Structure 1
């Protein structure tokens, strides 16, 4: 089965593409490994090892390639998880952040180096509909590591 969407993010790993895909699939609902491609005899010393993985996270397809050590994932690209509740934020924060690094403003880097934003776009959109409320929400968020929706709601309300 090939890719089913026009644009597909492809992630670069150094030998951990399948492990990372399995990790992500275990966290997100409606997720699965689509296919795993292996090196052939044309790649001496790597025959049979995983080259690419196509996987789906809650309906969004991704590719992962074991491309080697020359490139690293960085915060220059991140994936926003739009959460409706604090429980949902806590769920993704705890699971994706385990073994990784927690960063400011709801960002984290997982143990594979992929950056995630665990936040609520609904609250951010509401806050930005009123410039004064938006400024209060942004100020409160800048002091947070994990997003606290109740505290951001209070900041929005003044």
Structure 2
């Protein structure tokens, strides 16, 4: 019997490959594992991402481009939580991920870590960036 596996899945409407490549550029040990594209016969637009698997810092993610518009998107109630090894890395990620996005909690010491920030990136994905105590 196959081992059960849980993978974070991110659904976009036309920006899956752009978002994936952006995330790959930010994290060490990041790579595309596989990518399947829609063919000319569909069902989505030719060349768009049907499913892609990628890793960030050893964690596996999946993404796709939905060819159907949905009345929902990402919400901060589910977010990527990143423990950063040092303040420079936290500051770098915070700047990159907040550019074109929205700051939910600015960089500060909120009492549970030395420095913390929470942002929605330009694709709507929520990131909590933490410098552990």
State the TM-score bracket (shorter-chain normalisation): 0.7 to 0.9
**How far off its partner does 1:65 sit?**
1.1
Pairing of 1:6-155 with structure 2 (within 5 A): 6-43=5-42, 46-67=45-66, 68-70=68-70, 71-104=72-105, 106-120=117-131, 122-123=132-133
Query: Which residues of structure 1 form unaligned runs of 5+?
Result: 124-158
- Are the counterparts in 1 of residues 53 and 63 from structure 2 also a CA contact under 8 Å? yes
Encode CA deviations 1:39-70: one digit per residue, 9 max, x unaligned.
13442562332222111101111000112430
- The structure with the largest helix share of the pair is 1
Q: Quick one: structure 1 residues 42 and 79, their matched pair in 2 at CA, closer, same or farther if it must change by over 3 Å?
A: same
- The structure with the largest strand share of the pair is 2
- Are the counterparts in 2 of residues 5 and 61 from structure 1 also a CA contact under 8 Å? no
How many residues in Structure 1 have an aligned counterpart in Structure 2?
119
Encode CA deviations 1:11-33: one digit per residue, 9 max, x unaligned.
01001101100000000001011
> TM-score by structure 1 length?
0.68
Quick check: 16-25 or 29-38, which moved more? 29-38
Query: Which residues of structure 2 form unaligned runs of 5+?
Result: 107-116
**In 1: Cα distance, 2:58 partner to 2:4 partner:** 10
Give every structure 1 segment of 4 or more consecutive aligned residues whose post-TM-superposition deviation is greater than 6 Å. Answer: none
